[in-house]
Structure 1
Amino acid sequence: MTSHDPSDFKPTLPFFRHEHELLRDTIRRFIADRVLPQADAWEEAGFVPREILREMGELGLLGIRYDSRHGGSELDTLATVVLAEELGRSTYGGFAVTVLVHTDMASPHLFHAGTPEQIDRYMPDLIAGKKIAAVAMTEAGAGSDLASMRMTARRDGNEWVLNGSKMFITNGIHADLYFVAAKTGAPGRNRDISMFIVEKGTPGFSVARPLKKHGWLSSDTAELSFIDCRIPAENLLGQEGKGFYALTRNLQNERIVLGAQAMGEASRAIELAVEWATQRQAFGAALWEKQTIRHRLATRLAQVEAARSLVYSCAWRDAQGQQVVKEVSMVKALCGDLVNQVMYDCLQFHGGMGFIRETAIERMTRDARVQSIGGGATEVMLEEIAKRMV
């Protein structure tokens, strides 16, 4: 019987270069040394300590695709996939999404749309982990349907005045910098959305309440409130009225990242299930001797490898500057559903222990549930695919 050491897993597809593998090794060592020994405590506390993110910044893990002038590594989409996959393999989804929201869902808005002054002011600290970012676009009645956003921003002299609320905001409690979406057009012009930079402590801006979640317990999540929140006019991020397109553009990157995270989680769950099945005795033999268990796990592994190849291909095409809207939607729909199917089987084969909070597979199953919801629900992604089939 072979050993199933998690360090055995390293993709060898031709998409990856030497620098990608060095990055993978760095992330894997950091997780083993600094995350796994402490992450249970973060689950209890409800957030990842800021010093951990600063350490990741010092290792260059928070600015993988950003320019070197501000401390970034100038790598590509495939490098981001390596980061997301390895974070997913940590088995702590809350830690993973805390990092990925900062690196690939929030800070890209500044990098792509910020003025030189805005980028020089904020980007070095974001890359170094000295400041943590959140993106505030979702509302209680506007998730996948961005056009239903109700939060407003109106110009008043040299200021913008923000009013409204945001819901389900990851890093919402402990972030230092928020990239906030609000309606700036006339009533009825649904896509007149603009993006703004709001710093923690700005008068009129507050955390309305922390949110207790089914999973991702170590990611701090909040509802945010903006009541006559005044920010300088220069805190407009990008062009007025063009925020809808900025949001949808960045969602493509977000969905690749979430797909990679999901497949990292799924592959590690299968490894844990195989380890358990080869050790657990039942009816006079190891569970692994039951053909139905071997075959189910073999089927899931084949599905995960196929989905991972789609993620890699999509990331490679994105790195070449190709349009991958349909493919990204496939990644999000396929990986978000598949990781939940994998977790269901892996928990099932753990038996009663899979239902106990002290096991990784129980936590991973809870964490995976949101993968078919956040970043674009499966049903919305399938519609995006269908629209591009005719």
Structure 2
Amino acid sequence: MLPHRSVYDEEHLLFRETARRFAQKEIAPHFDGWEHAGIVDRSYWTKGAEAGLLCPQVPEDFGGAGGDFRLNAIVIEELWYAGFAGPAADYSVHSDVCCGYLLKYGTRAQKEKWLPRMISGEAICAIAMTEPGTGSDLQGIRTRADRTVDGYRITGQKTFISNGQHCDLIIMVTRTDATAGSRGMSLILVEADRPGFRRGRNLHKLGHLSADTSELFFDGVDVPAENLLGSEGGAMAALMSELPQERLTIALQSMASAQRAYDISRDYVRERKVFGKAVADMQNTRFVLADLKTELAVGWAFIDQCLAQHMTNQLSTYDASMAKLWVTEMHGRVVDKCLQMFGGYGFMREYEICRLYADARVQRIYGGTSEIMRELISRDL
């Protein structure tokens, strides 16, 4: 089970129970079907809204619960610990990433228009950064937004976009000045019903099978000037200010999933018999479990330290990068050793550990690869 930690209070315990019940009632019965289909049902979003799980950090002025990011963290932990990485990742992009940009950089009119609809599940949000030739190097983006009389005309292509099939609103990272380098990039809101926008294929992935991940195309999409999010040329600064929360989010995901892998593996080896005795009675198994339990304890302590810092706006990009690097790498080590304890059954998709293993791999890639994290951390040596 997930440990109870001092970073949370009694109010958070009640909210955790809500998230836990939601996972078992609204995700578990449908999960296999969603994994096979490669996408969740749209009803998943309205059910999450009814349970209060979408964007719980939004102030009451905009129809939110007025909580802090710890409520988001609880949703992340519970859905990932339940083993539902795909559906959980969909919520995370919407609530933990996209919502932050609107809260911090949106105008009053933008907030009033979109935040209530994001909370209710009426509007699903995606953020479009990555392009076919551009991954972690955001300065290499080629999608452009040319000025028009009334606003901008957007032309370009994005890929690996979470919520791409369901999204109603896209936060676009575009180039508004081809000569200004990182200062020539802007964030622009694009509604999915605008002419010239089209969705590409839903990409087939190693893991996170039920999280729709898509190609998006923008063929001269006209948007009004009021769709600019923040200041023109301010995209890179905005991205840098929000990335610590995104990286903490990914670290929280990996912590909960690693804990799940450990717990089901510990229970399995207690029941599994080899040479007439439980696998858990063998010294090697006990030593492996001891190592994994220790790594998890260290990870939770570091996560809680970062979460506490984030609550007081003191989480630096370097600490967030260290959390993302260490926890996701630890996650990979844990699921690998756990799968080994299942033997040949661990390689079978019908066993949960197989899915957890596949779902873990992308954690070291998205939100900035482990190599990029090391590069960032090295700047603060």
Normalising by the smaller structure, the TM-score range is over 0.9
Partner of 1:191: 183
Which residue, 73, 79, 86 being the options, matches 2:78? 86
Whole-Å separation in 1 of the counterparts to 2:308 and 2:134: 31
Matched, 1:122 2:114: yes
| Match in the other structure for 1:69 | 61
Please identify, of 38-47 and 102-111, the stretch whose mean Cα deviation from structure 2 is larger.
102-111
- 213-222 or 81-90, which moves further after superposition? 81-90
| Alignment match, 1:383 | 375
Distance in 1 between residues matched to 2:260 and 2:168, nearest whole Å: 32
Q: 1:55 aligns with which of 47, 54, 60?
A: 47
Mapping 1:307-346, distance limit 5 Å: 307-346=299-338
Higher mean Cα deviation, 309-318 or 258-267? 309-318
Distance in 1 between residues matched to 2:62 and 2:180, nearest whole Å: 40
* Structure 2 CA distance for aligned equivalents of residues 290 and 40 of structure 1: 34
Is the partner of 1:143 in helix, strand or coil?
coil
Moved more, 343-352 or 101-110: 101-110
Does residue 46 of the first structure (1) align with residue 38 of the second (2)?
Answer: yes
The answer as to 2:131 corresponding to 1:139 is: yes
Q: Which residues of 2 match residues 277-296 of structure 1 at below 5 A?
A: 277-296=269-288
SS in structure 2 of the partner of residue 363 of structure 1: helix
CA distance in 2, matches of 1:234, 1:186: 21
Alignment deviations for residues 262-284 of structure 1 (CA, whole Å, 9 cap, x no partner): 00000011010011100111110
Once the two structures are superposed, residues 196-222 of structure 1 have per-residue CA deviations (whole angstroms, 9 ceiling, x without a partner) of 111112111111222111110000011
2:240 pairs with 1:248: yes
Residue 356, structure 1, aligned to residue 348, structure 2: yes
CA–CA distance in 2 between the matches of 1:186 and 1:97? 33
Identify unmatched segments of 5+ residues in structure 2: none
Instruction: Give yes or no for contact 1:94–1:219 (8 Å, CA) kept in 2.
Output: yes
Q: Provide the residue aligned with 2:3 in structure 1.
A: 10
Give the aligned CA root-mean-square deviation in angstroms. 1.2
**Secondary structure of the equivalent of 1:190?**
helix
Is 1:32 the equivalent of 2:16?
no
My pick for the range that moved more, 219-228 or 183-192, is 183-192
Residue 186 of structure 1, CA deviation: 3.3
User: What amino acid does structure 2 have at the position aligned with 1:336?
Assistant: T
The CA distance in 2 between the partners of 1:70 and 1:196, in whole Å, is: 21
Deviation string, structure 1 residues 278-317 (Cα, Å, up to 9, x no partner): 0111110011011111111221121112112111111111
The CA deviation at 1:323 is 4.1
SS in 1 for 2:253: helix
Match of 1:3 in 2: none
TM-score scaled to structure 2, two decimals? Answer: 0.97
How far 1:29 sits from its partner (Å)?
Answer: 1.0
Count of aligned residue pairs for this structure pair: 381
- Give yes or no for contact 1:78–1:316 (8 Å, CA) kept in 2: no
CA contact (8 A) 1:84 1:258 kept: no
CA deviation after TM superposition for structure 1 residue 80, in Å: 2.1
Name 1:224's counterpart in structure 2.
Answer: 216
Greater displacement, 359-368 / 69-78: 69-78
Report deviation, 1:179.
0.7
Is residue 259 from structure 1 mapped to residue 251 from structure 2 by the alignment? yes
Structure 2 counterpart of 1:19: 11
Partners of 2:67 and 2:214 lie apart in 1 by: 32
Q: Give the deviation of 1:116 after TM superposition.
A: 0.6
Shift of 1:10: 3.4
Query: Which amino acid in structure 2 is aligned with residue 192 of structure 1?
Result: G
| Comparing 47-56 and 162-171, the one that deviates more | 47-56
The Cα shift of 1:23 comes to 1.4
C-alpha separation between the residues in 2 aligned to 1:309 and 1:175?
A: 35
Q: 1:323 to 1:281 in 2, by over 3 A?
A: closer
Contact 2:346–2:354 (8 Å) recurs in 1: yes
> What is the one-letter code of the residue matched to 1:102?
H
2:159 maps to: 167
TM-score, length-normalised on structure 1? 0.95
Which stretch shows the higher mean deviation, 256-265 or 138-147? 138-147
Moved >4 Å (runs of 4+): none
Shift of 1:79: 2.5
SS in 1 for 2:53: coil
Three-state SS of the structure 1 residue aligned to 2:199 is strand
SS of the residue 1:173 aligns to: coil
Separation in 2, partners of 1:305, 1:50: 37
For residue 153 of structure 1, what is the aligned residue in structure 2? 145
C-alpha deviation, 1:77, in angstroms: 2.6
